[in-house]
Amino acid sequence: MERKSIRTSALASIAVVVMFGVAWEAKAQDTKIPYPSMAPLEQYLIPDRNEEMKLARSAAPDSISGDAGVLVLGRHGYETAIKGKNGFVCVVERSWMSPFDFAQFWNPKMRGPICFNPPAVRSILPLTIKRTELVLAGLSKAQIIDGIKAFEKKELPALEPGAMCYMMSSQGYLNDSAGHWLPHLMFYIPLTDPKVWGADMHGSPVMLNPQFGGAPEPITEFMIPVGHWSDGTAVTPKNEH
């Protein structure tokens, strides 16, 4: 009953905010954009590599993340901190993995611990690495989008069946609206009609994440909230947000 309550509350209160805020509404044109450009790089970095590794691994239960590889963000991109043994890789994503039209695209406070399964390591993680390299090269959003269109040139790997990830950390900060949000799983499939999965339908636990959606990555991404954080702690109304 508790889990049903959590999912219902999540769908009712966060369906239009979701993980990355869903969309930036243009009707607020006269409102100052809170993060109009990239902040100094130091604000995105975590000085203590051990702390970043710990945060990255908090994305999934220890039975998964304990043997996973770990990447940490350096001044020129992600660096391998631990190679891992089980094919999973955990990282802490930064704000530039948000939709390009999201107002908090440059929010330096955002920290998204995420642990990719092996198919996602081979076909989704390269997107995180590619976007990050383009951002740290000082390119504009338009140039970054052009760089990611390498998909069309087959310079980035095609999406693999079964690609998914864990985002179950209670320590992440996903944006100024969602905060820690909810522990959840994410599934990646080729562009498709969200209704095929029942996403965002009344009573459905499946949500559409607008992170990619063909702009420009040809990927549809779904989220399913779960009832416990990675450390086994149950989600309660108090820590739901």
Q: How many Cβ atoms from other residues are within 10 Å of residue 147's Cβ?
A: 18
Pick from 53, 62, 93: which is nearest to 173 by CA? Answer: 93
Distance in angstroms (rounded) separating the CA atoms of residues 56 and 71: 8
73 has pLDDT over 60: yes
Distance in angstroms (rounded) separating the CA atoms of residues 48 and 20: 26
24 has pLDDT over 60: no
Residue 97: CB partners within 8 Å, gap ≥ 6?
112, 128, 131, 211
DSSP-derived letter for residue 178 is: T
Q: What percent of the chain has pLDDT over 70?
A: 83
Structure tokens at 241: 């947000």
Max CA separation in the chain (angstroms): 51
Distance in angstroms (rounded) separating the CA atoms of residues 13 and 36: 27
Distance in angstroms (rounded) separating the CA atoms of residues 167 and 226: 10
Pick from 196, 178, 214, 16: which is nearest to 99 by CA? Answer: 214
Mean pLDDT confidence for 59-74: 98
The answer to whether 129 and 90 are in contact (CB under 8 A) is: no
Which of the residue ranges 8-12, 100-104, 123-127, 164-168 would you say has the lowest mean pLDDT? Answer: 8-12
Distance in angstroms (rounded) separating the CA atoms of residues 135 and 32: 23
Domain ranges of the chain: 2-225
8 has pLDDT over 50: no
Mean pLDDT over each residue of the chain, to the nearest integer: 86
12 has pLDDT over 60: no
In this prediction, residue 150 carries a pLDDT of: 64
